[in-house]
Amino acid sequence: MRPHESTTDLTAAQDLPSIIRPYGDTTGDAMVQLSFTLPVPSGRRAELAALQLAGKMGLDPASVVHSKAMGPNFTFFIVYGKVNHLIDYVGIEVPEGREYPLLSAKEIDLAIRTVLNRRMVVVGACIGTDAHTVGIDAILNVKGFAGEKGLEYHREIQVINMGAQVTVEELVERAKAENADAVLVSQVVTQKNAHIHNTKQMAAAFHAAYPTAVGPGMGRPLLIAGGPRFDTVTEQELGVDRIFGKGTTPGEVASYLVHALLPNWTPEDPTEST
C-alpha cells in the first residue's frame, strides 16, 4: 500500500475543507483557464462570442488573454475567468478503492502453485478492428509497464497473446482450446464506441460458448476488459467480470486474477506480504 493512502484514511473528516473553489494564487479566487476554438473569423465579434460562451459557462468576470486566427474561418481562444460555482467537498462520495490486496510476484506464483497445482492460462487479444496492442502488451509482455514485469514473467502463468485485430470467434476458439482460466481483451480505439460494442460482443460470445457456466473460474474463463475509455460503463453493462482503466499495472491484474480465481487462498505468512 502506498503511504499517502494510509494517511488519507487517518485524516479525520473534520480536517477536510467543506466548501471549495478553484485556486489560482489566492484562496477563494476561483480562477480557471480554458481554451477552445470557435468556427468564426477572428476579430472583435469573435472575442465577444468567446466572452459570451465563458459567461454561460459560469465565468464572471472572464477575459480573453489570447485569440488567434486559424485560417480564414476559425479562431482559437485562451480565456481566464472566475467561476461562480461552489464545490461541497465533504459531501463527495468517493468510490471504493481496490477490493483486493496487491500481491508480490512471488506470492502470485505461490498462490497459483498451491491452489491450482498447474499453470494458470491467460489468453489476451485486441479484438475487432483495434490494432493498438500497447495496452495488452503492457500487461502481458515480459517487458511490462511502469517498472512492473508483465504476466509472461510469472513462472506459473502461461500467457497466450494473440495480438491485434483478433475476431471474437478466434478468441473464443483459442480460449476453449487452451482451457483458459482468464481472457483479457484490450480496446484502445473508441471511435463510434467501437470499444463498447466489441467488448459486449465478446462477452456475449463467451456466455453463449459456455452455456453451463456458473461463474468466472466455474465453467468459464474470467473475462477482463481493459482500455482508457471504459469509465462510462459498468461491468454489468458490458457482461465482463472486471474492467481495468488507464494506468493499470500488470501487478494489479495479476493480483486480481488470484483474488477472483483463487478466492479461498490466503498467504500462509502474512508478514511476507508487501
Shortest Cβ distance from residue 134 to another protein (Å)? 6
Sign of CA dihedral 262, 263, 266, 272: positive
* Interatomic CA distance for residues 153 and 157, integer angstroms: 8
Cα–Cα distance measured from residue 30 to residue 240, given in angstroms and rounded to the nearest whole number: 41
- For the chain, give percent helix, strand, coil, nearest 5: 35, 25, 40
Is 143 part of the annotated catalytic residue set? Answer: yes
CB 54, min distance to another protein, A: 16
Q: Site for another protein (CB under 8 A): which residue of 62, 83, 120, 137? A: 137
Three cell numbers written together for 154: 510469472
Question: Can residue 134 be called a binding residue for another protein (CB under 8 A)?
Answer: yes
Residues 157 to 176 in contact with another protein, rule: CB under 8 A: 161-165
Stretch that binds another protein, among 46-54, 102-110, 125-133, 177-185 (CB under 8 A): 125-133
DSSP code, position 87: E
Q: Which amino acid is at 219?
A: G
Nearest approach, Cβ of residue 159 and another protein (Å): 11
Cα dihedral 192→136→107→182 (10° resolution): 70
Binder of another protein out of 107, 109, 130, 241 (CB under 8 A) = 130
The active-site residue out of 68, 143, 200, 246 is: 143
By CB under 8 A, the count of residues binding another protein is 28
Judged by CB under 8 A, the chain residues 174 through 233 that form the site for another protein are: 189, 191-192, 194, 228
Closest CA to 257 of 118, 111, 83, 155: 111
- For 180, residues 6+ apart whose C-beta sits below 8 A from its C-beta are 121, 122, 123, 160, 174, 221
Report the nearest approach of another protein to the CB of residue 14 (Å): 33
Nearest residue to 267 via CA among 117, 98, 115: 115
Q: Which is nearer to another protein, 70 or 218 (CB)?
A: 70
Binding residues vs another protein (CB under 8 A)? 35-37, 68, 70-71, 74, 76, 128-131, 133-134, 137, 141-143, 161-165, 189, 191-192, 194, 228
The set of catalytic residues is: 143
